[in-house]
Amino acid sequence: MNHAVSGFSKLGKEEKIRLIAQTYFTDAEKAETLVKSYWNSDEKLQQLHDEFIENTITNFYLPLGIAPNFLINEKFYTVPMAVEESSVVAAAAKAAKFWSTRGGFKTTVVGTEKIGQVHFMFNGSHAKIQEFFNLIKPALFSDTESITKNMQQRGGGILDIELRDKTDLLENYFQLHATFETKDSMGANFINSCLEQFASTLKSKAQQHSLFSEQEKDIKVVMSILSNYVPNCVVRAEVSCPVADLKEKNIDDGKVFAENFVQAVNIAKVEPFRAVTHNKGIMNGIDAVVVATGNDFRAVEAGVHAYAAKDGRYTSLSDARIENGIFYFSVEVPLALGTVGGLTTLHPLVRFCHEVLEKPSAPELMQITAAVGLAQNFAALRSLTTTGIQQGHMKMHLNNIINQFNAAPAEREAITAHFKKNAVSHAAVVDFISELRKK
């Protein structure tokens, strides 16, 4: 297609598919068949999925796996994880089982405060806008009472609103910086509705303010939007045990392992190139739970990585140390998650995942998710500092390579048996399959 498409959104689903298939595929019929093979046979369920986003043509599946044996604050959880990367679920489950016999995960919600901002331009002095803000602050609360009523009944609402002067960064730039408690909902719609009302009140009250000049009355609201950076909506997860208790199959000496492990974390603290990959490993676990529970993994990712750079340099989210013969490993991450609203009530598999987790509250889900992130990080660092990351990862990746070559059942059996004793690499598997098929 070498021209713009007009009216694509107005086409029916079948028409959209036909246009895509005929434009981009030499075998349009085969392309259409593939797309339709991923439709749900239940028409009502398919319609539900079609209406989640715009211009839907089919469903794009992610595997949903289970990581059992997560002992968190003395309670066992079976954790659903939606992720496409091999070895992630296996690593989480293995780490969970390891720590379940060593006291489990201890987690704490440090805070649950969310943030939203009204960004506006004011052509006047800080003193004048501050005096004006002090006068209208009660109205900012009262004008949002219809919006906050239900949230207040659940124990949430607007915590505070403050004026922030940002004119040192951008000429005439000010903010209304508001903090919120949204209880079990992620709260995006609630926060944005409050912010838009703040903006409306700000503008209308400015027009009525007798001490403003005509120029000052003309406050220009640029945008009103929540922030996905939530440095006060934070959860901490930790594991610990005597160094001697770290010894197991791939760990001959607990003390040497612990020292190497701590050093690996210290490297991630000081080296951003390593820290990014280190934190990606944590997010392997966090994102998988966030997706499975119908939360916004893009918002979580953005907020977490901003938090990792909050002190001016991107660094490790996790920390490890040895004190008095005890190994401590912990992570602290901002996680704005919800257990009500959005996909949590609409998507049948999301509801299923919440049931598997025994319908956690938002703070409880924050703790579960942080524990999975810490487990994932532990599993990755254990591999890196002992056998190396590729041994376990490539074993798990073997199935993907076998499927890529459409191996028959007998071939699959022979390949699997061979690579139980031999190192797995893509080239080695391809060579073995070629030799197998020559015979």
Angle (CA) 105-323-315 rounded to 5° is 70
Q: How many CB atoms lie under 10 A from the CB of residue 84?
A: 9
Decide if 126 contacts 135 (C-beta within 8 A): no
Residue showing tokens 């991630």: 268
Contacts of 367 (CB under 8 A, 6+ apart): 72, 73, 107, 108, 109, 235, 237
Contacts 24+ apart (CB under 8 A), 241-244: 241/99, 241/102, 241/103, 241/326, 241/327, 242/325, 242/326, 242/327, 243/322, 243/325, 243/326, 243/327, 244/325
Contacts of 219 (CB under 8 A, 6+ apart): 120, 121, 122, 202, 203, 206
Catalytic residue among 205, 217, 393, 397: 393
Catalytic residue among 296, 354, 364, 397: 296
Catalytic residue among 280, 305, 395, 418: 280
Q: How many CA atoms lie within 13 A of 17 on its CB side?
A: 18
Q: What are phi and psi of 298, to 5 degrees?
A: -70, -40
Q: What is the DSSP string of 407-431?
A: --HHHHHHHHHHTTTS---HHHHHH
Residue showing tokens 């085969």: 30
Q: How many CB atoms lie under 10 A from the CB of residue 30?
A: 11
Contacts of 202 (CB under 8 A, 6+ apart): 118, 120, 136, 140, 176, 219, 221
**What is the four-CA torsion angle of 120, 126, 130, 131, rounded to 10 degrees?**
-130
Contacts of 415 (CB under 8 A, 6+ apart): 398, 402, 407, 429, 432, 433, 436
Q: Is 280 a catalytic residue?
A: yes
Catalytic residue among 85, 216, 218, 411: 85
Q: Which of 425, 401, 427, 424 is nearest to 412 (CA)?
A: 401
Torsion sign (Cα): 86, 92, 93, 97: positive
How far apart are alpha carbons 420 and 439 in whole angstroms?
Answer: 21
Contacts of 306 (CB under 8 A, 6+ apart): 229
DSSP letter at 8 equals G
Which residues carry out catalysis? Answer: 85, 280, 296, 393
